[in-house]
Structure 1
Amino acid sequence: MDMQHEYTNGEVTVVWKPRICRHTGICARGLPTVFLPKEKPWIRMDAADTSAIILQVKQCPSGALSFYMNADKPKD
């Protein structure tokens, strides 16, 4: 089973898969107001706008961070 955590600001949801995270710190260095590895929860979705979060998530080298737009997610 692939464990994952989801964080949302209502517009976008960031998905984190800790088992594949390489902990390179690229997210924290690129957007330190959002990605706070020593905090819980470690992703603060209200600390930057949606576009900045998306741009930073796209920099994740391992694919441990991904995102989807909430408006695009099919309703259950």
Structure 2
Amino acid sequence: MKTYPKEDIKVMWEPEKCTHSAKCALGLPKVFKPKGKPWIQTENASKHEIINQVSKCPSGALSIIR
């Protein structure tokens, strides 16, 4: 499990759950960059945009910690 902070939240990624559907990268490519280091770059979008996109993760590999 890895976490990526943004203001008062953290994006949590559980790689073992990820099905690589790419919904995150297609929906918010300025944040979710599979070839980037780190691959989740929370500084590139608002907290609201990130929360909205994470809620669309079909596998549950991405979640928000408040």
Normalised to the residue count of structure 1, the TM-score between the two structures is 0.84
Q: Percent identity?
A: 47
Structure 1 regions of 5+ residues with no counterpart?
A: 70-76
Q: Between Structure 1 and Structure 2, how many residues are aligned?
A: 66
Question: Cα RMSD between the aligned structures?
Answer: 0.7
Structure 2 regions of 5+ residues with no counterpart?
A: none
Letter in 1 for 2:59: S
**1:24 correspondence with 2:21:** yes
Bigger radius of gyration among the two? 1
Q: Which residue of 1 aligns with 2:46?
A: 49
Q: Which residue of 1 aligns with 2:31?
A: 34
Structure 1 outlier segments of 4+, above 6 Å: none
